[in-house]
């Protein structure tokens, strides 16, 4: 991916650029396991942080969505591929792309990479495809409020590729 070094460091909430959200995450002891690597379920936590910040970047506030609309996003299905392991103290970058949007559902393709010492994005470590749904807090089916859906629509990529560099 052609990401200029000069763009970094990013703020703690990440940045939205051409519809792609980038969130930097440092690996701490809490994220690792006795194998010396990041625990496999930890990447799902990282991915959710990134989805939350992607929504915040387009003005969608999960607290207001819950309190004003009685709606929450839940994960319905996930596919995760572990290619290389992240380690203690690594600086990672989570790239999130909204690749499908329905009336109550969305699919977000997420790629976690390790930043190189030169602050370039390195190889893919883990990819996660999150299929989320908007539900009522009561547990019943929900629908995205029109203004929320309109904001999310601005993120949808025509190509569903999770690796923008190859799609160019």
- In the complex, the residues that contact a copy of itself under the rule CB under 8 A are 9-13, 24, 26, 28-30, 32-37, 39-42, 44-45, 48-49, 52, 61-63, 72, 74-82, 85, 87-89, 137, 139
Q: How far is the CB of 5 from a copy of itself (least distance, A)?
A: 16
3-state secondary structure of 94: strand
State which residue, 83 or 165, has the beta carbon closest to a copy of itself: 83
Q: How far is the CB of 141 from a copy of itself (least distance, A)?
A: 13
Asked if 69 and 145 touch (Cβ cutoff 8 Å), the reply is yes
State which residue, 11 or 146, has the beta carbon closest to a copy of itself: 11
- Give catalytic status of residue 120 as yes or no: no
Greatest Cα pair distance in the chain: 48
Asked if 128 and 113 touch (Cβ cutoff 8 Å), the reply is no
Catalytic residue among 33, 61, 89, 147: 33
Q: What is the dihedral of CA 36, 41, 46, 47, to 10 degrees?
A: 140
3-state secondary structure of 155: coil
Q: How far is the CB of 37 from a copy of itself (least distance, A)?
A: 7
Q: Which two tokens stand for residue 31?
A: 């994220």
The residues that are catalytic are 33
């Amino acid at each position: 991916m052609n990401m200029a070094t000069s763009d970094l460091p990013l703020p703690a909430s990440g940045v939205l650029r051409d519809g792609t959200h980038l969130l930097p995450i440092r690996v701490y002891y809490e994220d690792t396991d006795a194998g010396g690597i990041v625990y496999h379920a930890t990447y799902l936590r990282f991915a959710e942080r990134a989805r939350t910040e992607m929504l915040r970047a387009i003005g969608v506030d999960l607290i207001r969505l819950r309190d004003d609309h009685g709606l929450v996003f839940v994960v319905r299905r996930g596919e995760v591929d572990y290619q290389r392991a992240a380690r203690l103290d690594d600086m990672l970058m989570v790239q999130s792309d909204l690749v499908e949007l329905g009336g109550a559902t969305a699919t977000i393709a997420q790629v976690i990479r390790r930043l190189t010492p030169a602050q370039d994005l390195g190889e893919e470590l883990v990819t996660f495809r999150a299929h989320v749904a908007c539900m009522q807090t009561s547990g019943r089916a929900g629908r995205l409020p029109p203004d929320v859906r309109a904001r999310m629509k601005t993120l949808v990529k025509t190509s569903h590729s999770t690796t923008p560099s190859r799609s160019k």
